[in-house]
Amino acid sequence: MDNKIIDSTLLRKLDRLKLNTNLLLNQGYNGGRKSNGKGSSIEFSDYKEYVLGDDFRKIDWNAYGRFQKLYVKLFEEERQASVNIFLDTSLSMDFGNPKKSLIAKKIASALSYISLSNLDAVNIYSNGENELKETGYFNGKNTFQGLLKNMEKASFFSKNDLFQFIKKKNYKKGITMILSDLYSDYVEESIKYLSYKNQRIIVLHVLSKEELAPDLKGDLRFIDSETEEEKDVSVTNPVLKAYEKTLKNFIREHKEICRKYGCKYILVSNEISIEEILFDQLVKHGILR
């Protein structure tokens, strides 16, 4: 799998996608998502680039004649959604071949681009020392390169728990996306809090093929990447079966947490290409359209 986070070919494909959030926002800046307030004027206010699903009746054909691109006129009162992306940069994410950290950065970058293209504001949160680190909100498609540089610098060496800090911040009503392997005792507590804060929550559970279907045999020593605790294990068929049962329970528990609080849950493997994740899994689950 390519180690580059995102390329121009994929970006062109992403221009066809939108976040399918079904959000109705009452407050905020002008943006690309309809509010439940009525527009006070039918005068022209702004343009946005046409994407599949937009009202083709609002296409400005004069703009097309000048720029050879389709643009949609914005007449209605529309609002900007706040998109919060929680990127787990703990050591456990720096595992697998390719690493879970790489696929998480690819997904976060792609979803940020789609959000910015649709005039939403994007803030990236990650593990800090005693609180969440955040980039601050990026606004507009022209800020994407700055966001991408920030993403490229993200390092996955933290021994601090991302979920331990989520309740320490306040969040505006909006969309929350979590990219993590969910190795935390605070997942349910954090999701409950975000739900209380009027977030539409999407959990992207990132696991490696080595975790989902380990190809191991014999006497091995396992070292916890975060605690450095060592454990000697004789990997036999019964041990692998017990691991498989534990893994299934782990996934089922987190699916149930998401169901309980009205979240979307998607299991993502590091062996699947970013195109498959975006155009197959996320479209299939109704996250993108």
What are 173-232's pLDDT values in tens digits?
Answer: 899 999 999 999 999 999 999 999 999 999 999 999 999 999 998 999 988 888 889 999
**Percent of the chain having pLDDT more than 90?**
69
Q: pLDDT digit string (tens) for 111-156?
A: 999 999 988 999 999 999 989 999 999 999 999 999 999 999 999 9
Mention the CATH class of domain 8-14+80-209+264-284.
Answer: alpha beta
Given this model, what pLDDT does residue 108 score?
A: 98
Strands 46-49 and 71-74: antiparallel
Average pLDDT (160-174) is: 94
- pLDDT given for residue 228 in this prediction: 85
Q: What mean pLDDT comes out for the span 97-105?
A: 96
Residue 187 burial (C-beta neighbours within 10 Å; 0-12, 13-18, 19+):
buried
The residues spanned by each domain of the chain are 8-14+80-209+264-284, 40-75
Q: Please report, to the nearest 10 degrees, the dihedral formed by the alpha carbons of residues 181, 263, 20, 115 taken in order.
A: -50
State residue 25's pLDDT score. 40
Which helix (H) or strand (E) segment holds residue 225: the answer is none
Statement: residue 243 has pLDDT above 80: yes
Provide the pLDDT for residue 30: 53
Above 50 in pLDDT, residue 23? no
**What pTM value is reported for the model?**
0.82
pLDDT at 42: 47
CA distances from 96 to 103, 151, 246, 277 (A): 10, 19, 19, 17
Please state the φ and ψ torsions of residue 204, each to the nearest 5 degrees.
Answer: -105, 105
Name the average pLDDT for the chain: 87
